[in-house]
Amino acid sequence: MVDRLSWSVAWRGLVRSKRLTALTLVVLSVSVILVIFLTALIDGLERDLVEETTGAIAHVLIEPREREPIAWWEQAARGARDEGPLYLGERTTLTSKKGAINNWQRWSRLIDAFGPEIRGVSPAAEGQGFTIRGEKREAVRLYGVEPRRYDQLVPIQDNLVEGRFYELGPGEITIGYRLAETMGVGLGDRLKVNTAEGTGRSMRIVGLFDTGFGGVDNATVLMRLGDGQSLLGLGSSVNAIGIEVENVFQANRVAEQLQRQIPYTVTSWIADNERLLRALEGQGRSSDLIIFFTAVAAAFAIASILIVLVTNKLQEIGILKAMGATRHQIRAVFALQGALLSLAGGALGATVGVGVVRLLSTVQGPPTASGRAEPLFSFELGPELVVGTVVGAVLIGLVASLVPARRASHVNPIAVIQNG
Amino acid sequence: MADTTSPNRPHQADVEATDTILRLEDIRKTYTNGVAEEVLFGIDLEVNTGDFAVLIGKSGSGKTTLLNIIGLLDTPTSGRLFLDGRETSTLDEDERARLRREYIGFIFQSHLLLPDFNVLENVLMPCRIRGKAYEEAAHDRAVEMLQMVDLGEKIQAPVTKLSGGQQQRVATVRAFANAPTVVLADEPTGSLDSKTSQAVMRLMRDINQETGTAFLMVTHDPELTDYADRVIELRDGRVASDTT
Ligand SMILES: Nc1ncnc2c1ncn2[C@@H]1O[C@H](COP(=O)(O)OP(=O)(O)O)[C@@H](O)[C@H]1O
Ligand SMILES: [Mg+2]
């Protein structure tokens, strides 16, 4: 394919045209740096946004089906999530019936065995409520959970500021540190925990956590599953099963598959976050555009430099052809130059690009209220990105060399030899 | 690539001395860019192994045109050209390129060396074009020939560092590196002083006598025709005389 002649002429040509070679390498590596940097930044942003959105919620949530009789004029509202619609009849008597997944152990086991897509399953007795201390009253979300299972959905144990979570005992709660601040309480203090319906219980704070998710840290009260069940009047039932999936973008598929087997409402976080996902898609498209235009610019840069290389070499091409070099051999010279330039430029750019990203990753932003230090830039830089960019650069180099290589292969030796 | 002969093909001296390696039958050439200009009016010519022929004629008489056609760099408008018994008019560009590297050595008016390569690499370039095996097979002989022309010390030198005479000697050695059947030279001494011209001529003559390689050389210089054993004169696109 590429013989010694093409190799040696291509290589010598590049080595001899040091300025042009250096210029091409700069253009190419800058393009590669740009692509790597921007993609890592945008991917990082996307990862953060998704993490921000999905980090503190169940990716897939199983809730009891709406079973209350509702008025005919409200039929249209059916299927909407049951966040406090106005139902006919006595709400209080319906509540315990409504919010129940009775045989939850069975469903939990089924989901556990579903497959490797499932990372965690956490049954919960949850509901709206208040924490009350003296005059202070804060609206909160109450969760009766099995701590180790819940921890797979929202990382509490690793984010404890003080105290404990895994070993919650009866009558004990672990709450967000911001909630504790607003309530003016600390570890060991007692706090009155009321449900929306008014049942209440005095509980002891044994742990404070700082997950970094605002909504979690300032309005969450975690207790044992049994405590939650009795506080919310669920008996031995739960009213939610939260699921953590391996790949958050697969949540819809998992939800659909589970829905076929489980007689309750299965929803994925994606259904509730269409806008976010559309925004991410738009962001992805704009980063594709940036990469596309960078690639086009780099291709033109290589092509024009190769055309100059060809023009400088017209006489030598003529000599080689007169001595019997075929069009293929001449084309190979310039295709090889394109490939070598783009491979070297790509490798150089990738090295510098990865270095820049690594360096900027170590820059810390201002610490959060709880003293948590977070990096200023958050990049997502995988080997696929680096390898893909270098491969892309080489392909661009090859494509860009097509026209100059063709032009070189069509040189008429008579014309250039007589000019000499 | 598609070469049929081995890199160790014997020099033509081993073959019978009266072999016709080139035969031209009624070769005509008309240039047709803008106005049609007829340059060659039917050339009939044979070149044999061992020939050391000189092509003379006034400027514009068509010598270069004829040499380019013989060298398969250009195609005749009509007529037939046989190279080693093979008719060449139907061949495409790459097939002609392969014949060129197998049969023909060129010496151009100005040396036309490749500036990116050193002396030995330039000499071996026609072999490199044919393939690695040819380059390796020709290596020792190339060094030997460079020593013959007093360039033994310079084989690794960049050609750009050589004098004009040295460069033309490199170009001459290059034309023989691949053991061609015929060497074509268009005013090879045109840019050299008389003393260097004589040296280059002697080198060509030596190689011709040693290897039997046929030689067809265009020159204006009547002094140089003394070296030739055959003088072909071109006048107005025809062979006016052909004396041995
Ligand atoms: N590429 C060409 N296009 C048109 N006319 C040409 C071309 N090459 C040579 N000629 C013409 O052909 C004639 C012969 O030229 P040439 O073969 O170079 O003669 P010589 O080498 O004997 O001086 C000249 O009149 C020249 O103008
Ligand atoms: Mg001429």
**DSSP codes, A35-76:** HHHHHHHHHHHHHHHHHHHHTTS-SEEEEPPP-S---GGGGG
- How confident is the model at residue A322, as a pLDDT? 93
Long-range contacts, stretch A296-299, CB < 8 angstroms, 24+ apart: A297/A31, A298/A27, A298/A28, A298/A31, A298/A393, A298/A396, A298/A400, A299/A396, A299/A399, A299/A400
CA of A415, closest atom in ligand 1 = 1
Q: Is the pLDDT of residue A309 over 50?
A: yes
Instruction: Out of A197, A229, A263, pick the residue that ends a domain.
Output: A263
Whether residues A323 and B126 touch (CB distance < 8 A) is answered with yes
| A153 close to A171: Cβ distance less than 8 angstroms | no
B235 in A contact zone (CB under 8 Å): no
Is residue A225 situated within a structural domain?
Answer: yes
- Residues of chain B found within 8 Å of residue A316, distances taken between Cβ atoms: 114-116
Residues A255 and A282 grouped into a single domain:
no
The CA B186 to ligand 2 mean position distance, Å, reads: 7
Task: Tell me if chain A has a CB within 8 Å of the CB of B39.
Answer: no
Q: Do strands B214-218 and B182-186 pair parallel, antiparallel, or not at all (unpaired)?
A: parallel
- What is the third-level CATH fold of B20-113+182-243? Rossmann fold (3.40.50)
How many Å apart are CA A277 and CA A255, to the nearest integer?
Answer: 17
On whether both A50 and A178 belong to a single domain, the answer is no
**Interface probe with B: pick from A7, A9, A15, A323, most Cβ of B within 10 Å:** A323
Output the DSSP codes for A155-197: --GGGEEEE-STT--TTEEEEEHHHHHHHT--TT-EEEEEETT
Tokens of A29: 């590596």
Instruction: Please name the helix (run of DSSP H) or strand (run of DSSP E) that holds residue A354, with its range, or none.
Output: helix A327-361
Contact B98 A414 (CB under 8 A): no
Task: Return the C-alpha torsion angle A217, A219, A224, A225, nearest 10.
Answer: -120
Rounded Cα distance, B64 and A378, in Å:
70
Residue A271 lies inside a defined structural domain of this protein:
no
Least confident of A66-75, A235-244, A276-285, B234-243: A66-75
The reply to whether B63 touches chain A by the CB within 8 Å rule is no
CA angle (B94, B95, B97) in 5-degree steps: 60
**B10 in contact with ligand 1, CB cutoff 6 A:** no
Q: Is residue A182 in a domain? A: yes
Distance in Å, CA B103 to ligand 2 centroid: 22
Q: What is the pLDDT of residue A83?
A: 45
Same domain, A233 and A293: no
Measure B188 CA to ligand 2 centroid, in angstroms.
Answer: 11
What is the distance of C-alpha B117 from the center of its chain? Answer: 21
**Beta strands A136-145; A118-133: pairing state:** antiparallel
Give a yes or no: residue A104 inside a domain. Answer: yes
Q: Are A297 and A391 within one domain?
A: yes
Question: Which residue, A125, A140, A232, A144, is CA-closest to A183?
Answer: A140
**How long a stretch of residues is chain A?**
420
For A319, the domain range is: 4-54+277-419
| A251 and A158 share one domain | yes
Q: What is the pTM of this model?
A: 0.75
A9 touches chain B (CB under 8 A): yes
Rg (CA), chain B: 17
Amino acid at site B224: L
How much is the CA Rg of chain A, to the nearest whole Å? 32
**Ranges of residues in chain B whose predicted pLDDT is under 70:** 1-18, 111
* pLDDT 10s digits, A42-68: 888 888 888 888 888 888 999 887 545
What's the pLDDT score for residue A156?
92
Average pLDDT over residues A196-203: 89
Asked if residue A268 belongs to a domain, the reply is no
Q: Residue A420 is nearest to which of B99, B108, B125, comparing CB atoms?
A: B108
Query: Three-state DSSP class for A206?
Result: strand
Q: Report which bound ligand comes closest to the CA of B235.
A: 1
Based on the fold, state whether residues A282 and A408 are members of the same structural domain: yes
Domain boundaries in chain B?
Answer: 20-113+182-243
Residue of chain B with shortest Cα separation from A420:
B110
Q: pLDDT band at residue A371, thresholds of 50, 70 and 90?
A: low
**Which of A5, A316, A420 is nearest residue B129 as measured by Cβ atoms?**
A5
Ligand 1 atom nearest to CA at B31:
4
Please report whether residue A75 resides in a domain. no
Q: Domain check: are A254 and A295 in the same one?
A: no
* CB < 8 Å to A324, chain B: 97-102, 104, 126, 129-130
Task: Name which of A345, A358, A303, A344 is nearest A30 in CA terms.
Answer: A345
Q: Measured between CB atoms, does A178 come within 8 Å of chain B?
A: no
**Does the Cβ of B61 fall within 6 Å of ligand 1?**
yes
Identify residue B243 by its one-letter amino acid code. Answer: T
Give B73's contacts in chain A (Cβ within 8 Å). 322, 413-414, 417
Nearest to B125 among A13, A16, A323 (CB): A323
Q: Does some domain include residue A299?
A: yes
Among the candidates A263, A290, A316, a domain finishes at: A263
Ligand 1, from B29, B65, B70: best to mutate by most atoms within 8 Å of Cβ? B65
Is residue A303 pLDDT above 50, yes or no?
yes
Q: How far is B209 from chain A (nearest CA, A)?
A: 23
Task: Say yes or no: B1 contacts chain A, CB-CB below 8 A.
Answer: yes
Number of domains in chain A: 2
Does A383 reach chain B within 8 Å, measured CB to CB?
no
Predicted pLDDT at B10: 45
Look at residue A66 in the predicted model and tell me its pLDDT.
58
- Same domain for A218 and A309? no
In a domain, A272, yes or no: no
Which ligand has its closest atom nearest to the C-alpha of B108? 2
**Per-residue pLDDT, B116:** 93
Q: Which of B218, B221, B211, B223 is nearest to B234 (CA)?
A: B218
Same domain (yes/no): A119, A247: yes
Provide the chain A residues 302-331 that lie in CB contact (below 8 A) with chain B.
315-316, 319-329
pLDDT in tens, A396-407: 888 989 999 999
Nearest CA in chain B to A13: B116
Share of chain B above pLDDT 90, in %: 48
Domain boundary among A207, A228, A263: A263
pLDDT score of A2: 83
